[in-house]
Amino acid sequence: MLYNLFYYLLKLSCYLYFRKIRLYQTQNIPSKNPLIVCANHGNSFMDAILIAVLFKRKLHFLARADAFNSPFKRWFLSKINMMPIYRIKDGRDEVKNNDAIFEKCQRILENNGAILIFPEGNCVVEKRLRTFKAGFVQLAYEAKTDGLQILPVTLNYSKPLEFYTDVSLDFSKPIDVLKIKKQAQDDYIRFSKALIAETRVRISERMIVIPNQEEDEFYEQFLELTKNNLKEGFLIDQLKAIKFLNELKTDNLLFYNNLKEKLKHYFNQLSHHQITDEAVVFSDNYNQNLLFLTYSFYLFGVIIHYLPTSIIRYIVCNYIKEIQFKSAVRMVIGMFIYLIYVPILVVLASLFFDFGSIYLFGLLYFYNANFHQIKLMKQAYLMKSKNVNFVEEREKLIKSLNL
C-alpha cells in the first residue's frame, strides 16, 4: 500500500521537478518475465525513483548501503522496495548481510518479479559509463527461474544537479540469460564476460557520453547549444552532437580547438550578463507586453513558494554534503514539505476568501506552468535594457556548424 502511495506521489513529483521527461522504446519492457533491470548510475537514488515511477511493473531495488545512513532514509527507501548492498568499506561484518539480500532477490525472481541494479555500483555525477561490478551477473547465473531476462536502461540528464531540466530514459531490447548461458556452455567466467559486455553495449549505445573530465565544460556547452536548436528530437540531436565533436577532434583538431574557444567566449559573456543560451533563442520571439501582463501573477507565485523553497534550499545546502544526493533529496524533501504546506494554504485561503482554494490552485498552476517562460522573458528584457544582443553571435556559431 505504501509503495503504491509513494509511487503516485513520486510520479507527480517527478513531472513537477523535471521540465521534460522523455521515454524511448517502452515496448521493450517485458510484462511478465522475471527481470533484472540494469541502468547507468549518474544521479544517486533519483535514477531509481525515475525508473520505478515510469516502469510498467513494480520494482525492487539494490542500492549502496550508505544510502541508508539515517533513520529517515532507511524508512523511506525500504517503503519503496529498496534493499541495501554492503561493501568492504561498510565493514566486514556488514558484508555478511548480503547473503540474506541475495536470497531475497532469488525469491523475487522466482515469483516473476523485477529487480533494479546499477552495475557501476557507486554513483558519480558525470556523463561517462564506469566499470561494471559482477553482482548482477552472479544473481543471473544462479537464478533457478525460467525465462530470466536482463533489461538495459539508459538515463540521460541534461543537467543532473539542477531543478527543472530534461531527462530521458531509453529501454533497450532485453537480453536472454539462458541464451548467454548456453553460448558460454555454463562456464561462469565466459558467461560473466559475455553478459557484462552485452549489457554495457546496450546501455552505452544510447548514452550521452563525454570522453573525459577535461572536456566536460566544452561538451556541455555544445550540448546546450544543440538542445536549444532541436531538429530531430532531444536524444537523437544530443547523440549526434557527441558524435560530431568526437569525429571533429580526430579529423580537424584546429577547427575543434577554435570552436572550443568560441564557445567559451560566448558562454562567458552570457554568464557575465546572467543570461542563458535558451534566453538568447527566446529573445527572437519575445513579447515585452506579455511580461508585464503576467509578472504580477508570477510574483504572487514567488511569494507563495518562498517559505517551502527556502526550507528545501537550507536543508540541501547545509545537510547534504555529497553532490550526487542533492537533486534527489531536493525533490523528495520538497514532496513531503508541500504535502504539509499546500493543505495549510488551502485551509487559510478558504477561511479568508470566497473560492479561495480555487484562486490558490489557479495561482499555483499558473506559476508552475509559466515560471520558466517568465524567467526567459526577464532575461530577454534584461538583454534589451542593457542593449546587448547575442543573437547574431549565436547565429554565426550555428551557421559555422551547420546545426
Residues 223-268 pLDDT 10s: 999 998 877 778 889 999 999 999 999 999 999 999 999 999 999 9
Handedness of CA 321, 324, 325, 327 (dihedral sign): positive
According to the model, what pLDDT value does residue 56 have? 81
Give the pLDDT confidence score for residue 312 in this predicted structure. 97
The pLDDT, as a whole number, for residue 359 is 85
* pTM attached to this predicted model: 0.91
Q: Which three cell numbers stand for residue 198?
A: 552485452
How far apart are alpha carbons 179 and 183 in whole angstroms? Answer: 6
- On the question of pLDDT at 403 being above 70, the answer is no
Q: Quick one: which of 275, 279, 276, 272 has its CA closest to 377?
A: 279
pLDDT at 82: 84
More confident: 208 or 70:
208
* Residue 87: per-residue pLDDT: 76
How would you classify the pairing of strands 149-157 and 175-176? antiparallel
Looking up cell 542563458, which residue turns up?
Answer: 276
Residue 99: pLDDT band by 50, 70, 90 thresholds? confident
Higher-confidence residue of 36 and 75: namely 36
Tell me what the mean pLDDT of segment 329-343 comes to: 95
The CATH code of domain 2-204 reads: 3.40.1130.10
pLDDT at 89 over 80: no
Q: What is the pLDDT of residues 13-38, one digit of tens each?
A: 999 999 999 999 999 999 888 999 99
Q: Which positions ≥6 away from 52 have C-beta within 8 Å?
A: 7, 10, 59, 61, 80, 81, 116
Q: How confident is the model at residue 298 (pLDDT cuts 50, 70, 90)?
A: confident
Provide the mean pLDDT of the chain: 91
- Domain layout of the chain by residue ranges: 2-204, 213-273+394-401, 283-387
Question: What is the DSSP-derived secondary structure letter of residue 377?
Answer: H
Q: Which residues 6+ apart lie within 8 Å of 14 measured at CB?
A: 21, 49, 50, 53, 54, 331
Contacts of 228 (CB under 8 A, 6+ apart): 277, 278, 281
Whether 72 has a pLDDT exceeding 90, the answer reads no
Q: What share of the chain is helix, strand, coil (3-state, %, to 5)?
A: 65, 10, 25
* pLDDT reading at 269 higher than 90: yes
* Three-state DSSP state, 154: strand
Sort 63 into a burial class: Cβ within 10 Å, 0-12 / 13-18 / 19+: buried
Query: Where is average pLDDT lowest: 92-101, 166-175, 236-245, 356-365?
Result: 92-101
Residue 86 identity: Y
Q: Quick one: average pLDDT of 119-142? A: 93
